[in-house]
Amino acid sequence: MTPYQVAKRAQCGRSSVMRALTSGDLHGTRDNTNKWRITEAEADRWIGQRPDRDRSETGQGPDHDRAETDQRPDNDIKLLADMSSLLRKAEAAAASHEARADALATQVDDLRAERDRLLSIIERQQSEARPIGFFSRLFGR
């Protein structure tokens, strides 16, 4: 059986079967094409030991394999407050990074202007320089 077939039989998601395979809860082998193969007996054993086998009562489809979380309003409010705090921190960090990027862009522009100024000085010096000939070097003129 493939992981998809086992998931369909267990009425869970394929990712649940893959987690069970990687954790060793469900034993399978890989064939020459590196695909998982699971025996029917092993699939039945794994399905039998799963704690929540009947998903039809909970209203969850075959692709859901999540533990139920505590849905009390207090937890939702706390979670919302935590997320709001994280959002404020992220916005502050983004503003800081944006200011730093602006400062660096200004610095790059200044350095480019300085480079261009120095290049123009070098070009001017080279154009004004007289070629030094043999006799000038010999007689010091």
Q: How many CA atoms lie within 13 A of 47 on its CB side?
A: 19
Could you read off the pLDDT of 67-112 as tens digits, one per residue?
Answer: 444 456 677 888 888 899 999 999 999 999 999 999 999 999 999 9
Give me the torsion for CA of 21, 38, 53, 49, rounded to 10°.
-70
Q: Is the backbone of residue 29 left (phi > 0), alpha (psi -120 to 50) or beta?
A: beta
pLDDT interval class at 128 (50, 70, 90) = confident
- The CATH architecture one would assign to domain 1-68 is Orthogonal Bundle (1.10)
Structure tokens at 132: 């030094």
Question: Where are the domains positioned within the chain?
Answer: 1-68, 73-130
The model's pLDDT over 43-54, given as tens digits with 9 standing for 90+, comes to: 999 888 887 645
